[in-house]
Structure 1
Amino acid sequence: MDDPGTADDRAQEPAGQGLDLAPFRGVRYVPERVGSLSAVTSPPYDVVVRPDGLQHLESADPYNIVRLILPQATSPAARTEQAADTLDRWLSDGILAADAEPGLYVYEQSQGDTLQRGVIGALRLSEAGEGVVLPHEDVMAPVVADRAALMRATAANLEPLLLTYRSEPESPEAVDAHGTTGTAAAVIERTVLRAPLLATTTEDGFHHRLWAVPDPAEVAEIRKDLSRHQALIADGHHRWATYLRLRTEHRSPSPWDYGLVLLVDTARYPLRVRAIHRLLHRLPVRAAVKALDGLFRVRTVEGPLTRALEQLGEAAAEGNAFLLTGGGVFHLVDRPSPDLLARTVPADRPRAWRTLDATVLHSTLLDHVWRIPDAPDQIAYIHDTAATVAKAERDGGTAVLIHPVREEVVRDLARQGVTMPRKSTSFGPKPATGLVLRSLDT
């Protein structure tokens, strides 16, 4: 495949010191070779609720992308080898094929009142200290090692990260009929008037459309605009850390200097920010509640889940609050002891970090009160609220539901170089996996 740093001389290098988004030859499913595009897509690898969701996706279509991003075998080495063999076979059999020429891609997701548009491309990698791409969450080394092994074996970016940036308001004389000009947004708004490369609706009700932007002038327009911006990692911290690790393993310049991303301008298309909940596999909810006696206020609240979440939101507006459940009863936990917080929450961070629900959950509850290590056999991180509750009730564990943090808080901490506890936020809608891949084979 083409090296995005050298292949397309027609697209000028960006002039600024910000984001450097390069065109690439997207690898996509050949529609005539699969049952339907919706049947071969998947949520991002860390959103798939295993094993139920994994089995559902595998049975949806023999070519579902989950067989690449979450291969199933008896050992880690066998899993990565299986993914590489599967990808090679799908390419040789014409299930997947690379587009004829490099370009950027405009991607749209919509459902009801929700509309999100952004640009997919190969982003030049930068370290956190360079201030171009801002992480806001910590990562776990085993997860990065797992993703790195998969990317090495497949020599591919199988799913884009979700990054956000914020454009500046433009002067009235610079605005065209589409509301902007000379920017990435202008290209996006022009592009969506054309016929898309593909369109599909996934089972969650989201409509997806993808367009190629191969024209050198439009590519240059996007790149010049983005070169003035920095980005916040909204989703994909472990994959970003994986990109950085793999870049160090290859002599530069090479395709490994870049990683596949979706960039969304949240000034135009605000993302939804949701919480990521915790499932404590080995802690029954009765024991979890008992351990909080004298440390937090604990109240039983009425269901159903929607009503209990409303009460959680009201309590979270006043301070740290959590909703525990697992046996059909909801327990609202709030008003932590100030002395307890002073003993357990590190004091060397900004107040905005110290008062995060995720900080109190990890530093105070998990580390100090419940003494549960942050390991996969102890804690599962689940995006879907109802699924978290259902698994806790079925397995006898404790679901810990938290309220989402505001995007402004996340961005402010990231600009200060302060990372939040991992899996603190869930930005969305997330891009569907399987619509466009990037091969790193040269």
Structure 2
Amino acid sequence: MSLIRPFAGLRPVPEHAGDVIAPPYDVLNSEEARDKAQGRPYSFLHISKPEIDLPGDTDPYADSVYARGAENLQNLSDNKVLMREAQPCYYFYQLQMDEHVQMGLVAVASVAEYDRNRIRKHEYTRPDKENDRVRQIDALNAQTGPVFLTYRHNTTIDDLAEAVGQTPPLYDLTADDGVRHVLWRVDDPTDIETITSTFEAMDCLYIADGHHRSAAASRVAEMRAGTGKPAGEANHDYFLSVIFPDNQMMILDYNRVIRDLNGLDQATFLGKLEETFRVETSPGIVKPGRSGEFGMYLGGQWYRLTIDPDRIPEADPVGRLDVSLLQNNLIDPVLGIDDPRRDKRIDFVGGIRGLAELERRVDSGEMQVAFALYPTSLSDLMAVADANEVMPPKSTWFEPKLADGLVSHVLD
């Protein structure tokens, strides 16, 4: 069984590609998806968020929702909006957001290699979200949301991607958010073999985003074991992936806002911080310039916090992360939030929203203090995964986001 393999993708016919592609299912709530899909009958949101086609009070986890998604997918195929490749192939997929450009490979990755940790993880999954993806994949008989993987860059793949990128693409689309999506098919047998063998020689791949989708794919493969082809050969033994080289990835900061100061007044709170951090006022927004430095917005004032270097456990791949340093030295001991996964006093703000969003959340009175973090590096993510450890929640925010509906993987 190979680490990755080509597949016969289900994708939009070119004239409808712009009508189909949609944001990932998990970046929109049901109301936002309903608004965005209004007047767009071919939008993939009708498949990834099918509750938008049912009464507004419908439970998004109701059986009828998954059934409606399957019906909507079948309708797009029946109406020739979606087409299936005649033969297995790979695709190269380029994303451009402003000046940032990255090109990855669309492939299906081995569930067995995921299960044995050759495709490495760095997050826990939530049972409710994982169950949702299992039911969605099983109902659709397809994986429609790709797992975002990364690898240590390789010149063979780089050179092939560059060569393919000089040829006419299948699609060249700009989404509503301004992100450009370009897709090329790779169907030359020599190129396919080169890609397959080059990845097979790699030690591992890493999940950047999509832990629930990959875990769900593993469960679906287990559910369907023995129902068709020998183990490792069926489509359900692989999961849809887009695989980007590490030197092209962009990780943004993932910031924190806290509802209160745990019963402390502002002066006492600042005094406690000075036991662990160098605290300096700033005339404007503080965007951390390096690891170990944090911005804090409190009472209409920005501060620069620099942690005591002696408190950074350099040999600990999880403990040395900025998200861990802030949690272990401030959010837990001073603000009393020991479980950021469940505590309702903390919220998280992706870096794509900008630091002005932190000011807005505090100035509105909704939150009392905000923290800006330096982005987690991809090398740190890999170190955590290599150590078989788990990162704290909301450690990474990847941009740009992959589109749903560009290519899907059918499990027949």
For residue 141 of structure 1, what is the aligned residue in structure 2?
Answer: 127
8 Å Cα contact 2:92/2:106 also seen in 1:
yes
For residue 332 of structure 1, what is the aligned residue in structure 2?
Answer: 303
Aligned residue runs from structure 1 range 310-321, under 5 A: 311-314=286-289, 317=291, 319=292, 321=294
Aligned residue runs from structure 1 range 285-304, under 5 A: 290=266, 292-297=269-274, 301-303=282-284
User: Number of paired residues?
Assistant: 387
Identity level (%): 25
> 1:292 offset after TM fit, Å?
3.8
Deviations 1:139-171 (A, max 9, x none): 3222222222222222221121221112456xx
8 Å Cα contact 1:324/1:333 also seen in 2:
no
SS of 2:26 mapped into structure 1: coil
For residue 175 of structure 1, what is the aligned residue in structure 2?
Answer: none
For residue 66 of structure 1, what is the aligned residue in structure 2?
Answer: 45
8 Å Cα contact 1:162/1:430 also seen in 2:
no
For residue 215 of structure 1, what is the aligned residue in structure 2?
Answer: 188
SS of 1:249 mapped into structure 2: helix
Identify the match of residue 208 of structure 2 among 234, 240, 246: 234
8 Å Cα contact 1:320/1:355 also seen in 2:
no
* Distance (whole Å) between structure 2 residues aligned to residue 192 and residue 55 of structure 1: 35
TM-score (norm: length of structure 1): 0.75
1:226–1:84 distance in 2 versus 1, CA, 3 Å: same
The answer to whether structure 1 residue 422 and structure 2 residue 393 are counterparts is: yes
Deviations 1:55-102 (A, max 9, x none): 553237233223322333324124323322322222223332222322
Q: Unpaired runs of 5+ in structure 1?
A: 1-12, 15-19, 170-182
Identify the match of residue 87 of structure 1 among 70, 73, 79: 73
For residue 224 of structure 2, what is the aligned residue in structure 1?
Answer: 250
SS of 1:295 mapped into structure 2: helix
Residue type matched to 1:66 in 2? L
1:423–1:373 distance in 2 versus 1, CA, 3 Å: closer
For residue 396 of structure 1, what is the aligned residue in structure 2?
Answer: 366
TM-score (norm: length of structure 2): 0.80
* Distance (whole Å) between structure 1 residues aligned to residue 162 and residue 269 of structure 2: 53
> 1:103 offset after TM fit, Å?
0.9
1:227–1:397 distance in 2 versus 1, CA, 3 Å: same
SS of 2:136 mapped into structure 1: helix
* Distance (whole Å) between structure 1 residues aligned to residue 293 and residue 332 of structure 2: 16
For residue 165 of structure 1, what is the aligned residue in structure 2?
Answer: 151
> 1:188 offset after TM fit, Å?
2.2
Residue type matched to 1:374 in 2? R
Identify the match of residue 358 of structure 1 among 297, 304, 323: 323
For residue 124 of structure 1, what is the aligned residue in structure 2?
Answer: 110
Greater shift in the superposed pair: 21-30 or 395-404: 395-404
1:164–1:373 distance in 2 versus 1, CA, 3 Å: closer
1:248–1:129 distance in 2 versus 1, CA, 3 Å: closer
8 Å Cα contact 1:40/1:434 also seen in 2:
yes
For residue 255 of structure 2, what is the aligned residue in structure 1?
Answer: 277
SS of 2:201 mapped into structure 1: coil
SS of 1:115 mapped into structure 2: strand
1:124–1:363 distance in 2 versus 1, CA, 3 Å: same
SS of 2:296 mapped into structure 1: strand
Residue type matched to 1:396 in 2? E
Residue type matched to 1:259 in 2? F
Q: Unpaired runs of 5+ in structure 2?
A: 52-57, 226-230
1:146–1:360 distance in 2 versus 1, CA, 3 Å: farther
8 Å Cα contact 1:276/1:425 also seen in 2:
yes
8 Å Cα contact 1:278/1:388 also seen in 2:
no
Identify the match of residue 141 of structure 2 among 155, 159, 165: 155
SS of 2:182 mapped into structure 1: strand
> 1:109 offset after TM fit, Å?
1.8
> 1:393 offset after TM fit, Å?
5.7
Deviations 1:106-143 (A, max 9, x none): 11123453221121011112456744212223332222
